[in-house]
Structure 1
Amino acid sequence: MTTKYPLISMIVPTYNQDKYLATCLDSIWFQDYPNLEILVVNDCSTDHTSEVLANFEQAVESEMVSYASRYNEKTNEIERTTHYRYHHQGRSLTILHNDKNLGSTRTYNRGFKQATGKYCTYIASDDICHPQMISELLAPLEAGEADFSYSDMFIVNDDGRILREFKLPDYSFNDCFKDWYLCGVSKLYRRDLHEKIGWYNNDFVANDHELYLRFALNGIRFKHISKTLYSVRTHDNREVNVHSPSNWSKLLDESRALVLQARDAYTNGKVE
């Protein structure tokens, strides 16, 4: 693949999301961007996640589909063209299974530490990437306008119905970190930021908030793409893992503390 299309690493940490995982992976595979490295990290799921992953891997390798493509008037038959369901060019798939349950943050980090792309992101395994997500988020990074880009999103229920459209603010430290954390769900950023600034903090449930605030405090340039490129699935009636009541309470407490940290940094002139 030429440097015209730098490699993008997409990490998919997953735990007990067998109902949604294949849809999530389809949404990644069928991005309109032609050079993706997909790394799935299964954190010892106790549902059918391993089976879903094995079936997906097999389908990617060999499943065929067809479409009606020509009417043959001599035989009175409608002929069909057969092709692979999943195109193979510009895609790699790596599936990792943790030996023991590591929790969400260590699972993220395992994927990111194996990634080799110039840019990277992680995708929650019950969410859906819209087809132009990567190409739209990549454009300002490749143009040298930003180091981290993020977009708007839909909030959807289990039936895929859109509950609301979530429009995020154009980037300012005040709007995205000092008021509240509003920038990090549908995102793409330079992978070398991890080498310069560090990994997701294993002590945090609000691991993205903590890391991206660290990015901001170290002068990383953020840019908002005012397009809806991602769908976040609501966790109503299935509050598990990060969204379990105890973890969710911890996450909100951590985010409150991180907002106060951002306000203190702003007050003390550490950031504009």
Structure 2
Amino acid sequence: MKKISVVIPSYNHAQYIEACLDSIYFSDYPEIEIIIVDDHSQDDSADVISAWIENLDVEEVSFAARYNSETDEIERTIHKRYNRPGRTIFFEPSDTNLGSTKNYNRGFKMATGDYCTFIASDDIVHPQMFSELAKPLDDDTADFAYCDMFVIDDQQRIMREFKLPDYDFEKSFGDWYLCGVATLYRRSLHLEHGFYDESAMADDHECYLRFAMNNARFVHIPKTMYSIRSHHNRTVGLHSEERFKALLNYSKELTLKARKWLSDQKDS
């Protein structure tokens, strides 16, 4: 069984990160390396993460298991809440704010898994996502797999379902960036083609386009297995109007770059 490394870049998401970590921990994939990199959060994210890790070995839950008619008691079975084998967890806080891309690059440089991805610390992984995305990688029919997503609000309400196109370079990079954030890919892609560009405004778009232009094999799994948190009402940091506009402008440049590359391929 191939190991999956999951990098969780954390910054000021104290209210969300436990749910995110739980969703990864309780995935049905057998072997997951969880790498949490906190970028000097100004809220209590680091304390929340540390408490979550401490609870892994001690927190207990129970369920009603047997009715004892002699004592008229419903007896309960007590067990550890966190009882998944095959989980390795690392927490690396930063003493300074590095910026989002540099922060999760340091997580990827710690990774040892055959496959890898990053999960935003306010998002939710559905239980079967890693297993489903790993199948084409295991079968060696793809190097990079992605799936569909729900967009949710803070009450976990589903605002919409985002269905992505089956992979085609022109549709997925030439029309616009349409590979989403629910991904799993070979870690060797980073070793061969580099990590995320720390100067890129749309770092995942730039990185995955680079993979594609170097002949990585992409596949779309048409199942909705990820919930991405809506940023509709957030106006600070990465979600500020100015920052988001810069991201879109950078993605426009990448889209034109993809179109030129495709045209050059057709002409050659």
What's the TM-score bracket when you normalise by the shorter of the two chains? over 0.9
Matched, 1:195 2:178: no
* Separation of aligned partners in 2, 1:92 and 1:42: 17
The size of the alignment, in residue pairs, is 268
SS at 2:57's partner residue? helix
Contact 2:39 2:93 in 1 (8 A): yes
**Which structure 2 residue ranges, 5 or more long, are not aligned?**
none
Contact 1:11 1:40 in 2 (8 A): yes
Q: Structure 1 residues 224 and 189, CA, compared in 2 at 3 Å: closer, same or farther?
A: same
Matched, 1:258 2:254: yes
Contact 1:217 1:271 in 2 (8 A): no
Detail structure 1 runs of 4+ shifted over 6 Å in the superposition.
none
* Separation of aligned partners in 2, 1:30 and 1:15: 22
Amino acid at match of 1:186: A
Contact 1:177 1:262 in 2 (8 A): yes
* Separation of aligned partners in 2, 1:271 and 1:140: 31
SS at 1:65's partner residue? strand
The corresponding residue for 1:40 is 36
Q: Give the CA deviation at 1:270.
A: 7.0
The corresponding residue for 1:240 is 236
Q: Structure 1 residues 234 and 197, CA, compared in 2 at 3 Å: closer, same or farther?
A: same
Structure 2 residue corresponding to 1:215, chosen from 188, 211, 218? 211
Matched, 1:116 2:116: no
Matched, 1:14 2:19: no
The corresponding residue for 1:158 is 154
Q: Give the CA deviation at 1:88.
A: 4.2
Contact 1:213 1:262 in 2 (8 A): yes
Q: Give the CA deviation at 1:126.
A: 0.5
Amino acid at match of 1:211: C
Matched, 1:229 2:225: yes
The corresponding residue for 1:172 is 168
The corresponding residue for 1:84 is 80
Matched, 1:28 2:1: no
Contact 1:133 1:229 in 2 (8 A): yes
The corresponding residue for 2:96 is 100
**Which structure 1 residue ranges, 5 or more long, are not aligned?**
none
Contact 2:164 2:180 in 1 (8 A): no
The corresponding residue for 1:182 is 178
Q: Give the CA deviation at 1:246.
A: 2.2
* Separation of aligned partners in 2, 1:10 and 1:90: 13
Q: Structure 1 residues 246 and 271, CA, compared in 2 at 3 Å: closer, same or farther?
A: farther
Q: After alignment, is 70-79 or 150-159 more displaced?
A: 70-79
Amino acid at match of 1:150: Y
Q: Give the CA deviation at 1:205.
A: 2.2
* Separation of aligned partners in 1, 2:113 and 2:236: 31
Structure 2 residue corresponding to 1:149, chosen from 122, 142, 145? 145
How big is the alpha-carbon RMSD for the aligned residues of Structure 1 and Structure 2?
1.3
Q: Structure 1 residues 243 and 270, CA, compared in 2 at 3 Å: closer, same or farther?
A: farther
Matched, 1:66 2:56: no
The corresponding residue for 1:75 is 71
